[in-house]
Homo-oligomer: A and B are copies of this chain.
Amino acid sequence: MSNKKLLVVSAHAADYVWRSGGTIAKYIEGGAEVHVVCLSFGIRGESNDLWKTPGRTYDEVKEIRRGETTKAANILGIQHFELWDQQDYPIRVTEELEDRLVRKIREVRPDIIITHDRFDIMNPDHNDVSAFVYRCAVMSNSNGVRIEGTTATKQMKIFGFEPHQTELSNYKPGSIVDITSVYDKKVAAMECFKAQSHLIEYYKQRAIMRGNHARRLSGNQSYKYAESFMNYYPAVGPELY
């Protein structure tokens, strides 16, 4: 992992933590360079508890979310963290945003992109971001897409986050990553998100469940906690994984 670069594109301020915080920490622990882009703060769609306070404003929510996610990113050890401050619910994909992400991909030159899976039955933003990131990756890889100061990337691996309600979202785990050694960091990062405190327990249990699946599917009893991902593409390489 030590020479790998990851780019994680998160629709809202906390998605990358719930869904890939352990894998991010694992890669960083292994020496990888991790870039995270949060497209939005999730002000409209993922801050329900904060809005229960009477008189709450957009700016207040934004600052709370900014503080929470920055703290979480620090706990995970993320080296490059960007908040692009787009509106959510819905996230509107513009040409300008496409250009910005293509440029970002070309700057980072990731081995792996992690983003949302293609379909989340509860959250159209996730679907839109999935399509957006996938499209930008294709454009980034094409050397005819000329953007000054950049050159085309080569095809990277792409993985999709688990959605909240997996079965209804046609989600199938293609990869399960053992996060046992960094699980404490993931928990600490999750605990930064006061506005979605009900999700902390949910994703703790999810890590235990995926740990159970990891043991069951591999026979490796040392796996206690895990995260799963959808594979956009097959695994390609010198052996069977």
Contacts and interface: CB of A to CB of B under 8 A. Distances in A.
A178 to B, nearest CB: 5
A133 to B, nearest CB: 11
Interface residues of A, number: 84
A228 B155 CA distance: 18
Interface of A: 1, 23, 26-27, 30, 42-48, 50-52, 58, 61, 89-90, 98, 112, 121-124, 131, 134-135, 138-139, 141-146, 154-157, 159, 164-168, 171-178, 198, 201-202, 205-206, 208-209, 212-214, 216-220, 223, 226, 228-229, 231-241
A168 to B, nearest CB: 7
A223 B202 contact: no
Given A42-B144, A44-B144, A159-B240, 15 more contacts: A45-B138, A45-B139, A45-B144, A48-B142, A51-B143, A89-B144, A89-B145, A155-B216, A167-B173, A172-B234, A176-B234, A202-B209, A217-B233, A220-B236, A223-B236
A146 to B, nearest CB: 7
B205 A239 contact: no
Contacts of A216: 122, 155, 164-165
